[in-house]
Structure 1
Amino acid sequence: MQLTIRRYQDPDKETVLSLFSQGIEEHTWPSFKNAMGSPLYLCFSLGLGFTGYLLASGLGALVLVSGWAGLVYYCCHKLYADYVRDRLQTDMQDIAASYMAQPDDCFWVAETVGKGKVVGMVAVVAKKNGAERYGELFRMIISPAIRRTGLGSRLAQTVLDFCKQRGMSKVTLDTSSTQTAAIALYQKMGFKHVRSFTKTHIPNWMMKITRVTIVVLEKSI
């Protein structure tokens, strides 16, 4: 399948928003499995099951473990669903104004040649830290049907080339720790892990339950 990368246009909006929403919310289930499969949560679940069994036999064990699993899933869902909702009400509400109004910002889409179907996206926003100018990569989303075709590398390289041409010193990005494939791709392209944090748009106690951290990567150019 042939793919081309071009700048975003207003007629792309509906498809881009749908791809964005699906691409972010699909991380709910992997995050839930990662949390529940951790040694700490496995031990805690076993402890709850044993306690429930002692209190009310098998039904008590089922209720306690199910309730705990439900809470973990809810927190994971809230992390990603609330992020999508917030973004749809802010920068993604007017993509052209948010990402195309300044010469050092840009939003690209990847589409199939011939059919013209949008199957991927990426954006960059110019930032300043004192005299240093750098780019921050945003909104890297690829349709599941097109993954493992090299499109992710092409989109990331598009950002790197764009920032280099404009004299920026580096490219940075944030991603969640459960997006292991994306992190591996960035690291293969030379991005380095510079820090992690857990403060997000959801309450801190919820973020701790998800066992998700936000990973900051950067590459000098």
Structure 2
Amino acid sequence: MAPYHIRKYQERDHKRVLELFISGMEGNIPATFRHMLTWPQSRLLLGGVPLAMLLVSGSWLLAIVCCFTLLLFLWLYARYPWKTHVAKCLHTDMADISKHYLSTPGSCFWVAECGGQVVGMVAAQPLKDPPLGKKQLVLFRLTVAIEHRGEGIAKALVRSLLQFARDQGYNEVVLETSVVQQGALALYQHMGFRMIRKGCWDLTPWPMALHTIHLMYHISSQEKGL
């Protein structure tokens, strides 16, 4: 395993960071598609519509074509939220990372560098309108290049963010992930994050909504003194 180090984002990292972000987000499409295939409504659609086509037309060929058409529809449906999310982010915070994360008090953006190349990243911003009496930091954009996963880079990035939260006097770190990002969910829970609620991603509307999971890490007074 090649050595790596965590540092703050620099403008020269922008192109590589965007590449990582896009590949990381779009890498969730296959898992989303597989997840959608487990839904009762998907099974009903894939089983019922081709069967109805067969009974009406008496043609197995039409039924098979119908099944493949429905699979294509589900694949496009699985792509939609991730493609839309990427497009939105590329026109907001990811368009000017320094402005959004390094010029705002209480925010930061880190990258992991290995062999002279950026292979991971994570960002943090204070939560707007936190619960009364709490100061919350939001974890965003955690991504590690596929070829460098399993090397502890994601953990190192999250540790850097947690230390930043302690130093800045935050009470909690919060984040949102999706049910298909099982690797990320396991990482967060292993590091002490706990689930506080579930929701639905507004980019995947009913009747095939993709569920989200909201997590929180509580920073104790003892930790703040470290």
What fraction of aligned residue pairs are identical, expressed as a percent? 31
- So what's the TM-score if we normalise by structure 2? 0.90
| Match of residue 8 from structure 1 | 9
Q: For the residues of structure 2 that align with 1:99 and 1:212, how far apart are their CA atoms?
A: 28
Q: Alignment RMSD, CA only?
A: 1.5
Residue range with higher mean Cα deviation, 163-172 or 50-59: 50-59
Determine the structure 2 residue equivalent to 1:187: 189
What is the letter of the counterpart of residue 184 of structure 2? A
Name the amino acid aligned to 1:54.
L
Q: Trace 1:204-215 onto structure 2 (pairs within 5 A).
A: 204-205=205-206, 208-209=207-208, 211-215=209-213
* Residue 28 of structure 1 pairs with residue 26 of structure 2: no
Aligned to 2:134: 132
Q: State the alpha-carbon separation in 2 of the partners of residues 124 and 199 from structure 1.
A: 20
Structural mapping, 1:169-180, within 5 Å: 169-180=171-182
Deviations 1:186-206 (A, max 9, x none): 011111111111142x3623x
In structure 2, runs of 5+ residues without a counterpart are: 220-226
Structure 1 SS opposite 2:135: strand
Give the SS at the match of 1:102. Answer: coil
CA contact (8 A) 2:46 2:70 kept: yes
Match of 1:142 in 2: 144
What does the per-residue CA deviation read over 1:122-143, in whole Å, with 9 as the maximum and x for residues that have no partner?
0010125233211100000000
Question: Is the 1:23–1:142 contact (alpha carbons within 8 Å) kept by the matching residues of 2?
Answer: yes
Q: Point out 4+ residue stretches in structure 1 off by more than 3 angstroms.
A: 37-40
CA contact (8 A) 1:52 1:59 kept: no
User: TM-score of the superposition, structure 1-length normalised?
Assistant: 0.92
In 2, Cα distance between equivalents of 1:3 and 1:36: 38
2:52 maps to 51
Match of 2:165 among 157, 163, 166: 163
